[in-house]
Amino acid sequence: MGSSRSQKVVIFLLAVNLLAVVYAIVVYNKTLESGMSRAASTAEKREEANVPVHNVSIGWTRPNTIYGLIHVAKTAGTEINKMLSNKYERVCGNKGYSYDAVRREKNRYAHAADWVDIMFRHPKAQALWGGGVWNRARVPIEIMEERGFEDCDYIAHEESADKWEQIYKQWPIELHVPCREPISHLMSMCNFQKNWVKIIKDDFNCNAPDLIREIQKCDVGLWRMHKQLLNQQNVTLKCFDPMPPQRYLDYMDKFLQPKRVQLKVKDRVINSVAHNKSEECVWHQTEKWRNNLIQIMRENHLFYKFCHDCLGTSDELPLAPVAAVNSNTK
């Protein structure tokens, strides 16, 4: 008797328990559902009022693409690389990175120890790349590749086109091609070859029977613009006039994240050795002659052809007019 009584008590208690569990589930369900609908309506209201969930003036939203500079010699590429890495985060270039830009620029002209970091003074580095030439503002491609490009928003390469492959195989990239007025650019290269690196002995000769060879003599890296970059799934090519470079720097300000510590540094003149235009034969020729030279340049170098085809189209970056920059900056 006693045992059947206690069995009833157990069954009663179990029933009470079961009810409590069902009740809890129902309440929980209702709470969840009302919470969900509240969240949904808040999201709708946000969308209506167009209020961002995160305050963008506090955080930073990376652009959907990364940017790259095809650093063709004598197109202000060093200035651009240097200035962007001084001002913005995650710029990676052989002429300087954002992360050590302060040490780079502060000690650059003082030849202090920070200028050439320990890595470049290592005997192994000296053996690999020769002494003294490499530093924070002249980073060997092997070091760039070892660091990797995973954290770069902007990459500047003074290298052959195949070096872009490891980047565009992984991420979409918008590559910027610096297109100067072609004959000024050619003269700038000739001057560099003759008076700075002293690789050639003679000036560009307007009377030479073979102008293709005269152009080749001065070529400092026109091959950095290569057909392998055309029609690549992940590569968007854009052109811009880099003279004066400030217009391009102002344009990139829309896409790159400002750094907490920005160094003000002096701009360098584009050519390491100034050249004297009146001593350059091309400027004493007829316009027809110069147009013919430009034609030869286009036919023999993709870089000049690409620039010609791109400038003035929707693929040219919309930089501010030259006059606007001149009045804003000195």
Ligand X SMILES: *[C@@H]1O[C@H](CO)[C@@H](O)[C@H](O)[C@H]1NC(C)=O
Residues that bind ligand X (CB under 6 A): 29, 32-33, 55, 57-58, 168-169, 171-172, 233-234, 276, 278-279
- Which CB atom, from 65 or from 300, has the smaller least distance to ligand X? 65
Residue 59 vs 321, nearer CB to ligand X:
59
Q: How far is the CB of 322 from ligand X (least distance, A)?
A: 24
CB of 278 to ligand X, least distance (A): 5
Minimum distance of ligand X from residue 100's CB (angstroms): 29
**Which CB, 171 or 196, lies closer to ligand X?**
171
Nearer to ligand X, 122 or 277 (CB): 277
Nearer to ligand X, 168 or 248 (CB): 168
Q: What is the smallest separation between the CB atom of 51 and ligand X, expressed in angstroms?
A: 6
- SS3 letters for the chain? CHHHHHHHHHHHHHHHHHHHHHHHHHHHHHHHHHHHHHHHHHHHHHHHHCCCCCCCCCCCCCCCCEEEEECCCCCCHHHHHHHHHHHECCEEECCEECCCHHHHHHHCCCCCCCCCCHHHHCHHHHHHHCCCCCECCECCHHHHHHHCCCCCCEEEECCCHHHHHHHHCCCCEEEEEECCCHHHHHHHHHHHHHHHCCCCCCCCCCCCCCHHHHHHHHCCCHHHCCHHHCCCCCEEEEEECCCCCHHHHHHHCCCCCECCCCCCCCCCCCCCCCCCHHHCHHHHCCHHHHHHHHHHHHHHCHHHHHHHHHCCCCCECCCCCHHHHHHHCC
Token reading at 45: 């209201």
- Smallest distance from the beta carbon of 271 to ligand X, in angstroms? 13
- For residue 42, the minimal CB distance to ligand X (Å) is 15
* 52 vs 131 by CB, closer to ligand X: 52
Sign (positive or negative) of CA dihedral 325, 245, 193, 274: positive
Cβ at position 308, least distance to ligand X in Å: 27
- Measured from the CB atom, the residue of 140 and 172 that comes closer to ligand X is 172
